[in-house]
Amino acid sequence: MLILTDGQRVTQATNLRQRARKLITFANGLLSIARDLEAFATRSEWSLPDINAATDDNDSAQDHPYWLELARRAYSDRRRRSKYFDASLFGEPAWDLLLDLFIAEKEGRRVSVTSACIGAAVPSTTALRWILVLENEDLVWRENDPKDARRAFLHLTAKAYTQMIEYLSTTVPASIDDSEKLFA
């Protein structure tokens, strides 16, 4: 039997409290995810697309409201990482720009170049360079603001929109049964 000093007991109790708090935080996060999944599954317009029902490759990537939710989560996850890690470890401004523009497109919003730069979470000069790369790759296009010559809006091209849907459709489990296995 190990006998602890008062100082060791205090230290051990403090460590146990810290671990308990982390566990509670983790459990609350899981409960939140479970509530979100339950609410998500009950909304018929948000039911997962049936990828198995597709008749050809293009059908599996049909537009669906679920893609917006996946894009929002991906963007939110990328922002949340910076709370725990140095943001410079995960620099992907092109992906952040594409996610932001896809979300805006699905929500019917226009995104100014300035807003896109902020959304990319990198210095403006870096974001502007990546915007040029995306324009050269025919993934985004600029629309000048007819009311303000100083402002321009960015949009995904049809090609990029289709590619985003195709990518997001590959992140969905093949069926509800497969997604339930993930949480079993």
* Total of domains in the chain: 2
Residue written as tokens 């609410």? 39
> In sequence order, what DSSP letters do the residues of 3-40 get, joined into one string?
---HHHHHHHHHHHHHHHHHHHHHHHHHHHHHHHHHHH
Give the model confidence (pLDDT) of 98-147 as tens digits.
989 998 998 889 999 999 999 888 889 999 999 999 999 999 999 999 99
Mean pLDDT along residues 163-173: 78
**What tens digit of pLDDT does each residue of 10-36 get?**
888 888 888 877 777 766 666 666 666
Co-location of 109 and 38 in the same domain: no
What is the pLDDT, as a whole number, of residue 58?
45
Q: For residue 152, what are the contacts with CB-CB under 8 A and spacing of at least 6?
A: 112, 113, 142, 143, 144, 145
Confirm whether 153 is domain-assigned.
yes
Which has the closest alpha carbon to 98: 149, 157, 43, 56?
A: 157
Which helix (H) or strand (E) segment holds residue 127: the answer is helix 124-136
**What value does the CA radius of gyration of the chain take, rounded to a whole number of Å?**
22
Question: Which domain range does residue 37 map to?
Answer: 12-43
CATH number of the domain residue 130 falls in = 1.10.10.10
Give dist(CA 71, CA 56) in Å, integer. 24
Both tokens of 156, joined, read 């995904």
182 belongs to a structural domain: no
Q: State pTM to two decimals.
A: 0.58
Q: Are residues 152 and 73 in the same domain?
A: yes
Please tell me the distance from the alpha carbon of residue 99 to that of residue 182, in angstroms, as a whole number.
Answer: 25
Specify whether 39 is located in the same domain as 66: no
